[in-house]
Amino acid sequence: MNAWILAARPKTLPAAVVPVWVGAMPLLIDDDPFSGSWFLFWCTLASCLCIQIATNLFNDAIDHRKGADTAKRIGPRRVTASGMLSPGMVLLGALGFCLAATLIAIPMLLDRGWPLLVIGVVSLYFSYGYTGGPIPLAYRGMGELFVILFFGFVAVSGSYFVQSGEWGGLEVLTLGLQCGLYSSVLIAINNLRDIAEDETTGKKTLAVRFGKTFARAEIVTFCFLPVLLWMVILPDNLLSLAVGIIPAFVGAIISFAVCRTEPGPRYNRYLALGALQLILFALVATLHSALP
């Protein structure tokens, strides 16, 4: 059981929880009994968590097959490379979570129709295609773009659509972009931490392609651009603006740390801070929705 928990990578799961929370909460806490559905919220959340875990399992098995997890690894142990679980077992587990995500999504499909079917099919494919398939995104330097798109725009707007039947306006899109940027902090820290290993295994992340200075600038940008977006969309709402800059304090710690520290095991702590920053953003977005 401990091996499966390790393979699921619990520290990455806020990236699946937060966009669902951010997209759904405006309609669940608006005091309108006819808007929003807690049942559909829990279905959305559970389905997205299953897809995230499936992605992590595919990643674990495929990285091992491609030789991307080596003795140089300084991140958390990977269960396939370490021999804790066989590649076939891990792939089977990934498929099981894909099946669970599909079954849990049935109430959403019945309620909202074909748009959810399209989102679901594409998301299930990329849970594998992130590291597998003919164009593995993680090996082509497209990981950050994938995260911004799917853990940002698609997940937030899709969760809003599940609750309302509408896609939302500029504010929902902005929340999606902010969520995607904060989620990308996690993958950018991960890629900078693993830059030495990835350089030897053919994994062309943006950190490998453009170097450490670029990777550090990327992390700083991902930490602070969402705060600038708060300032743009809420110039006359000082209370919401004050609340919105709370994650910037954690972002400052992360930015200072990665700029002063060479990639190494300490970066695992920065990943935890990145997850904290993402969770704080979810709380900030909820407070903004609740404020007059």
Q: What is the mean pLDDT of residues 242-252?
A: 85
Angle (nearest 5°) at CA 290 between 166 and 241: 100
Long-range contacts of 269-276 (CB under 8 A, 24+ apart): 270/189, 271/11, 271/186, 271/189, 271/190, 271/193, 272/11, 274/182, 274/185, 274/186, 274/189, 275/11, 275/12, 275/14, 275/15, 275/186, 276/250
Domain boundaries along the sequence of the chain = 2-290
Residue 168 has pLDDT above 80, yes or no: yes
Quick one: pLDDT band at residue 83, thresholds 50, 70, 90? confident
The pLDDT score that the predictor gives to residue 285 is 86
Q: What is the mean pLDDT of residues 267-277?
A: 94
Q: What is the mean pLDDT of residues 42-62?
A: 95
Residue 72 has pLDDT above 70, yes or no: no
Residue 177 has pLDDT above 80, yes or no: yes
pTM: 0.92
Quick one: pLDDT band at residue 286, thresholds 50, 70, 90? confident
Quick one: pLDDT band at residue 240, thresholds 50, 70, 90? low
Asked if residue 52 lies in contact with residue 19, where contact means CB atoms within 8 angstroms, the answer is: no
Q: Among 1-15, 76-90, 200-214, 229-243, name the one with the lowest average pLDDT.
A: 229-243
Percent of the chain with pLDDT over 90: 65
Q: What is the mean pLDDT of residues 170-183?
A: 92
**What are the residues whose beta carbons fall under 8 Å from the beta carbon of 216, sequence distance 6 or more?**
192, 258, 259
Asked if residue 257 lies in contact with residue 270, where contact means CB atoms within 8 angstroms, the answer is: yes
Quick one: pLDDT band at residue 24, thresholds 50, 70, 90? very high
The pLDDT score that the predictor gives to residue 236 is 65
Q: What is the mean pLDDT of residues 66-88?
A: 80
Distance CA 83, CA 196 (A): 23
Q: What is the mean pLDDT of residues 139-144?
A: 92
The pLDDT score that the predictor gives to residue 36 is 84
In degrees and rounded to multiples of 5, residue 71 shows phi and psi of -70, -15
Q: How many CB atoms lie within 10 A of CB 208?
A: 23
What average pLDDT does the structure give for the chain? Answer: 90
Residue 291 has pLDDT above 70, yes or no: no
Residue 228 has pLDDT above 90, yes or no: no
Distance CA 133, CA 88 (A): 17
Q: What is the mean pLDDT of residues 213-231?
A: 93
**And the tokens for 165?**
């039947």
The pLDDT score that the predictor gives to residue 238 is 67
Angle (nearest 5°) at CA 131 between 57 and 106: 60
**What are the residues whose beta carbons fall under 8 Å from the beta carbon of 11, sequence distance 6 or more?**
76, 271, 272, 275
User: Residue 144's closest CA among 173, 180, 119, 177?
Assistant: 180
The pLDDT score that the predictor gives to residue 54 is 96
One-character DSSP codes across 102-167? HHHTHHHHHHH-HHHHHHHHHHHHHHHHTTSSSS-GGGTT-HHHHHHIIIIIIHHHHHHHHHHSS-
Asked if residue 275 lies in contact with residue 11, where contact means CB atoms within 8 angstroms, the answer is: yes
Q: Among 6-10, 46-50, 70-74, 251-255, name the one with the lowest average pLDDT.
A: 70-74
The pLDDT score that the predictor gives to residue 239 is 66
Q: What is the mean pLDDT of residues 175-188?
A: 95
Q: Which amino acid is at 118?
A: V
Cα 179 to Cα 56, 75, 150, 176, 229: the distances in Å are: 19, 24, 10, 5, 11
Quick one: pLDDT band at residue 43, thresholds 50, 70, 90? very high
Q: What is the mean pLDDT of residues 19-34?
A: 86
What is the chain's percent helix, strand, coil content, to nearest 5?
Answer: 75, 0, 25
Q: What is the mean pLDDT of residues 264-276?
A: 93
